[in-house]
Structure 1
């Protein structure tokens, strides 16, 4: 695995000082260049939690992935760039307001002057590091913060929605190795209850919004305005996938 090639994949040319500014640039560039997608799952191609094949897929073949792949690989890059980081487990909020099990989602904790949570594997989420202090961070996708849970057990990553703070996922700062996520990674590839097995999807951040492709629609968001176009065939899906994401399956 090669740091320079990874940096080129996300539009950067060199390693900088491991501070918040460089961390923010790494995170945003990653989101602008590497899509969040579940295409291998829809094709029944097994995803192994091993960094070399993930690196080959994402960096060398120009693909994307889901949280275990993208945040696992990003964690490696951050360490190679001189950051002190750990992998953390998160429980994602379900549609009914409940939360998934432990290891439902993988994110990265970066230890600078204060700890920050960074995430390049959650789809439409904050594009910059979020401090655990509760300070708000705003970007084109919305306003975010990390709040301490009232029960004293961990934190909640929240997004302001219609004037209210809504929790996206809960997490603690306990450090884990990548292999601790193996069982839930397998679950999300195979279980009918997982959102990742229900429909194919590919989404990427853009400077002015986001582009999302599913088997049903192509949605282009620019400056908060959405244009939704029906996808009516597999051929159209593959054409749009190549056109907007540069991916040929």
Structure 2
């Protein structure tokens, strides 16, 4: 079904997304109310149903990901595939808007180090997230497009923490490491920062953002960079991540597959042949690659 000129999902498409994420509707003909509990259920079911994956870069002639609303809906809902933030979080934004939430999106700078203790540096504005506001209480960060991201929305309050079966995220504040506000006599700009718990009282920053409004054209610029810049983390990475409702993350990184719990790796497989990776994609992520995708596959394990 076409999204049409209005660039919003129809009621039928909203139901299509809810079916895609296996959202437990009390009545199959009635949309859920835009409450905080619904918001939590939505993020959890999105994380457990839609994979974060970079396969469109690896297995298409164009090496470009379509982030038009129709392209996103067709890929994620009709073809049961995934994507990254510019696809997943646009789908989420339009889903939330269609359910009646007061929601805006903004762009963030990724700052997650390779390992704990590494210096912190900030990317360009290459991550899209949604911010949800209720009449009372804090605003909430809603993000389904950051790999092994949070299962629950995170309140925009410094020190706020969420925990899903041991997977913890918290909200902090930070300042860009290259900030020089004193040059123009300005105070330093405070950034919200989503952090991941690594165990043993260790937290690492994931990405930082303000509540500034951005526009879809800004996302097109960020997505273009993500697709084509040699500095993009996705440029040469075969990634596929998806959560499960029992608190695991299934993760393909290159030629390795891991099932990770909150306390560490539960299972690990090192692929020796491409067919082994294809079997895992189908078994754990429900992804079956087409003949055309295999034709343009540029990271085949031989």
C-alpha distance in structure 2 between counterparts of 1:46 and 1:166, whole Å: 31
What are the equivalent positions in structure 2 for 1:68-107 lying under 5 Å apart? 68-95=86-113, 96-101=119-124, 103-107=125-129
Q: CA deviation at 1:94?
A: 4.8
Q: CA deviation at 1:158?
A: 1.5
Distance 1:21 1:40, change over 3 A: same
Q: CA deviation at 1:129?
A: 1.1
1:213 paired to 2:252: yes
> Do the aligned residues in 2 keep the contact of 1:215 with 1:237 (CA within 8 Å)?
no
Deviations 1:50-98 (A, max 9, x none): 1111100001110010010000111000000010111111000153410
1:240 paired to 2:287: no
1:171 paired to 2:209: yes
C-alpha distance in structure 2 between counterparts of 1:223 and 1:66, whole Å: 22
2:6 is matched with none
Out of 138, 145, 151, which is 2:170 matched to?
145
1:228 is matched with 268
1:29 paired to 2:69: no
Unaligned runs of 5+ in 1: none
> Do the aligned residues in 1 keep the contact of 2:164 with 2:247 (CA within 8 Å)?
no
Pick the structure with greater CA Rg: 2
1:46 paired to 2:64: yes
C-alpha distance in structure 2 between counterparts of 1:215 and 1:158, whole Å: 25
Q: CA deviation at 1:174?
A: 0.8
1:10 paired to 2:34: no
C-alpha distance in structure 1 between counterparts of 2:208 and 2:253, whole Å: 27
* CA RMSD across the alignment: 1.7
> Do the aligned residues in 2 keep the contact of 1:71 with 1:106 (CA within 8 Å)?
yes
- Tell me which moved more, 151-160 or 226-235: 151-160
C-alpha distance in structure 1 between counterparts of 2:100 and 2:45, whole Å: 18
Distance 1:243 1:160, change over 3 A: closer
C-alpha distance in structure 2 between counterparts of 1:205 and 1:107, whole Å: 18
Deviations 1:127-155 (A, max 9, x none): 11111112211123522221233644231
Out of 109, 112, 125, which is 2:149 matched to?
125
Unaligned runs of 5+ in 2: 1-8, 114-118, 176-187, 290-302
Which stretches of structure 1, 4 residues or more, deviate above 6 A after TM superposition?
A: none
Q: CA deviation at 1:180?
A: 1.0
1:189 is matched with 227
How many residue pairs get aligned? The number is: 248
Distance 1:157 1:245, change over 3 A: same
TM-score with structure 1 length normalisation?
0.93
